[in-house]
Structures are given as structure tokens and as C-alpha cells.
């Protein structure tokens, strides 16, 4: 069992970047990687994507760790949207409960479809083991959160024309400092009996292509990758095939075309793709696996646990120890908390 630095990450000095830009993955195109879903023993389960009350999950960071311990997860990553504010509490709980913790983030970014009037599409980028004090990362997270706040208010104003809902009610359900998101509106819609659960809320009222939707500012995917690398983190594209993917992240057409698109992100420092995720449409997964194999991208699998705010149970999809080892080897921001699983 490998043993990585234990204790409070925030007291550590960030490690030196391996290259001036921290950008080039030390893996060459064509290198084969193990892309099989992990079906190892319970004590080695690795789940690299979860949310807490620091963003749009229902469990506090400590409760996420406790739930992971109960579910038999060995190592879990806390990846709240656009914030690291849950790290300190998660670190304390992980240390107390002997759960491995990978501090992370899910950064909101966007891509533009040049073939369709530069139509924007939201893309989520996981960043593992980033230096949380990196100035540009800190600035970007604050900017996104602030725009998310305004945008949520605008959505509630639109909704208030048709439903008995107010910003004050929605605001009351967002913990101080948490990243505001549509699930916070869903909570009020559920409490008022307007919808039965978050899933139903997203089917129409809160849908991205629905009548009440308002987009929010996010950096481009390219900027997101660069910032996470500069902060010493490992950028992994979250659920790139979610509901079929975006015109830039999907892998519908000839696989060479997809490789060309992903290669641009790889050259900027993208290091992995979250292949095993419930929202990735099954018919495109083999092609994404091929793209990852061609470029030597790390393949991960995760639950995207949001507590009661989403049906995804912890450990629904998991990551191999080999993939986690690569993430650890390529990061230079902060170290994980606690003991890592066998094989890492
Ligand atoms: P926002 O960040 O405000 O754009 O809202 C998107 C978030 O809502 C995602 O990160 C998910 O956590 C959540 N979400 C999206 N679709 C659904 C859904 N169908 N059911 C439950 N939660 C969802
Ligand atoms: Fe979320
Ligand atoms: Fe996401
Ligand atoms: Zn997520």
C-alpha cells in the first residue's frame, strides 16, 4: 500500500511544476492505457467525482466522506462546482474515518461550435490535486460563482412569472459561500410540490434548452485546461458524452475526426476523460475509449454523487488504481490525504 502525505493539505507548499507550463503530459500518442472499468475488491473502490453542500450536493463535505466510508469506498475525490471551500472539512473527516481523499474541483467551462454560429456549449472539467491558492484559479472560481449567483436570480425572476417562487426562498437554501446552481431552485420547486424530484425539475422547468434557462459566464475549455495545469492539477474532461455530448466533445463521426479534436485539448494539457459515467451515452463509449487509447489519456469512472439531489449512488462507477496512480504522478499542486489503495 503506497502512503502519500497525510494531514492538512492547505499547510503544504505547492510542489514545483515538472515543466515551465506544467502542460505536457509525459505520455506519447499511441501509448496503450488500461481502459477497463474497475471491478476490484470492495476495499479498493475509487470514486473520483462527488459533490457536497459547497456546491449543489445535499451532504456536507464531512457527510460525503462518511457516506463514502459506509459505501465501502477506499478513496474519494471531492469535486464541487467552481469551489474548493469543502476541502478543509472533507480533509478532517477523511483523516478521522480513514478514507483516502483526492481534493478536486469541477470547473465550469464552455466550448463554441464554429459550424453553428459559435453556439456555446457548457463543458465540465475535473481538476485533481490543484494548488487551491493559485491566483488565476482563485480569480476564475470567484468570477464564475459571482456570475452563477446573478444568473440564478435571473432564472428565478423568469420562473416567478409562472410559479409561486421567489429569490429570497431560493437564496435561503444556498449555504453561505456555496456555488449556486439550478438544483437549488429545484429544491424550492420540490418543497412547493411543483415537481416531485430534481430529475423531474430538469426535464422541463430547469432544462438547458427550456424557457427559463439563463446561461452563466464560464472560461473556455482551453483556458480551464491551462489554469488547472498551471495550478499543478490534472485536468480530466467530465462526462464528455453526457446526453450525447456537445458538438465538440461527442465522438459520433469518424473516430479520426474525434482524435483530432481531442488532440488539440491534449496538446494544451488535457490528461484524462471520465468514460464510465451514467450520463455518457453507451453507444459512443467505445469510440471515446479508442480516442483515449490513441492519445494516452487517463480513463476514469465515477458516480457524480450529489446525495439526495441526484439518483447516482457512490461507487456506481469507479476508477482503476492504475489510473489513479497516473493522476498522482502527474499532479504537482497538492498531495492526496491518507493512504492510497493497493496498486496505486
Ligand atoms: P448549473 O450548474 O446551475 O448549470 O446546473 C447543472 C447541475 O445540475 C449539474 O451539475 C448537475 O449537478 C445538476 N443536474 C443536471 N441535470 C440534472 C438532472 N437531470 N437531474 C438532477 N440534477 C441535474
Ligand atoms: Fe452538480
Ligand atoms: Fe458535471
Ligand atoms: Zn459533477
pLDDT > 90? residue 246: yes
Q: Which residue has the cell 410559479?
A: 163
- Write the residue with the smallest CA distance to atom 15 of ligand 1: 202
Q: What is the pLDDT of residues 272-326, one digit of tens each?
A: 999 999 999 999 999 999 999 999 999 999 999 999 999 999 999 999 999 999 9
Of all ligands present, the nearest one to the C-alpha of 182 is 1
The atom number, within ligand 1, closest to the CA of 152 reads: 3
Take residue 247 and report the three cell numbers written for it. Answer: 458538438
| The domains spanning 9-22+32-145+215-330 and 151-203 adopt the same CATH topology | no
Give this prediction's pTM. Answer: 0.89
Q: What is the pLDDT of residues 100-130, one digit of tens each?
A: 999 999 999 999 999 999 999 999 999 999 9
Q: What is the pLDDT of residues 185-222, one digit of tens each?
A: 999 999 999 999 999 999 999 999 999 999 999 999 99
Mean pLDDT on 54-82: 98
pLDDT > 50? residue 33: no
Each domain of the chain, given as residue ranges in start order, spans 9-22+32-145+215-330, 151-203
* CATH code matching the domain that covers 151-203, chosen among 1.10.357.10, 1.10.150.650, 1.20.1510.10, 3.40.30.10: 1.10.150.650
Mean pLDDT on 236-252: 97
- Write the residue with the smallest CA distance to atom 16 of ligand 1: 202
Of all ligands present, the nearest one to the C-alpha of 77 is 4
Rounded alpha-carbon distances, angstroms, from residue 234 to 46, 262, 316 = 16, 16, 22
Using an 8 Å Cβ cutoff, are 334 and 299 in contact? no
HEC-encoded secondary structure of 182-198: HHHHHHHHHHCCCCCCH
Mean pLDDT on 37-52: 76
**Predicted local confidence at residue 203, as pLDDT:** 96
Ligand 1 pocket, residues with Cβ under 6 angstroms = 56, 81, 181-183, 198-199, 202, 306, 310
Looking at domain 9-22+32-145+215-330, does it have CATH number 3.20.20.140? yes
Alpha-carbon span 332 to 324, nearest angstrom? 14
Using an 8 Å Cβ cutoff, are 181 and 198 in contact? no
Alpha-carbon span 307 to 66, nearest angstrom? 12
Ligand 4 centroid vs 79 CA: distance in angstroms?
7
Alpha-carbon span 115 to 247, nearest angstrom? 9
The atom number, within ligand 1, closest to the CA of 181 reads: 3
pLDDT > 70? residue 38: no
Amino acid at each position: 500500500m503506497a502512503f502519500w502525505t497525510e494531514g492538512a493539505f492547505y499547510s503544504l507548499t505547492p510542489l514545483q511544476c515538472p515543466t515551465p507550463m506544467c502542460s505536457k503530459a509525459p505520455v506519447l500518442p499511441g501509448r496503450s492505457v488500461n481502459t477497463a472499468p474497475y471491478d476490484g475488491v470492495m476495499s479498493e473502490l475509487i470514486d473520483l467525482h462527488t459533490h457536497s453542500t459547497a456546491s449543489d450536493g445535499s451532504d456536507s463535505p464531512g457527510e460525503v466522506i462518511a457516506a463514502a466510508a459506509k459505501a465501502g469506498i477506499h478513496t474519494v475525490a471531492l469535486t464541487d462546482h467552481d469551489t474548493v471551500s469543502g476541502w478543509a472539512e472533507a480533509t478532517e473527516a477523511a483523516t478521522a474515518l480513514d478514507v483516502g481523499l483526492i481534493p478536486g474541483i469541477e470547473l465550469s467551462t464552455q466550448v463554441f461550435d464554429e459550424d453553428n454560429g459559435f453556439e456555446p456549449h457548457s463543458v465540465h472539467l475535473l481538476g485533481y490535486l490543484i494548488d487551491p491558492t493559485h491566483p488565476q484559479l482563485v480569480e476564475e472560481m470567484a468570477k464564475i460563482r459571482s456570475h452563477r449567483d446573478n444568473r440564478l436570480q435571473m432564472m428565478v425572476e423568469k420562473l416567478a412569472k409562472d410559479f409561486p417562487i421567489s429569490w429570497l426562498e431560493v437564496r435561503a437554501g444556498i449555504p453561505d459561500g456555496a456555488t449556486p446552481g439550478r438544483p437549488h431552485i429545484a429544491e424550492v420547486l420540490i418543497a412547493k410540490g411543483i415537481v416531485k424530484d430534481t430529475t423531474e425539475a430538469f426535464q422541463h422547468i430547469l432544462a438547458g434548452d427550456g424557457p427559463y434557462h439563463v446561461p452563466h459566464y464560464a472560461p473556455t475549455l482551453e483556458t480551464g485546461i491551462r489554469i488547472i495545469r498551471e495550478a499543478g492539477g490534472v485536468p480530466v474532461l467530465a462526462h464528455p458524452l453526457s446526453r450525447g455530448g456537445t458538438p465538440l466533445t461527442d465522438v459520433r463521426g469518424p473516430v479520426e475526426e474525434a482524435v483530432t479534436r481531442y488532440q488539440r485539448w491534449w496538446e494544451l494539457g488535457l490528461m484524462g476523460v471520465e468514460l464510465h459515467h451514467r450520463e455518457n451515452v453507451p453507444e459512443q463509449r467505445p469510440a471515446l475509449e479508442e480516442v483515449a487509447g490513441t492519445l494516452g489519456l487517463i480513463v476514469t469512472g465515477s458516480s457524480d454523487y450529489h446525495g439526495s439531489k441526484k439518483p447516482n449512488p457512490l461507487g456506481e462507477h469507479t476508477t482503476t488504481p492504475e489510473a489513479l496512480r497516473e493522476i498522482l504522478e502527474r499532479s504537482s499542486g497538492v498531495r492526496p490525504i491518507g493512504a492510497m489503495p493497493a496498486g496505486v
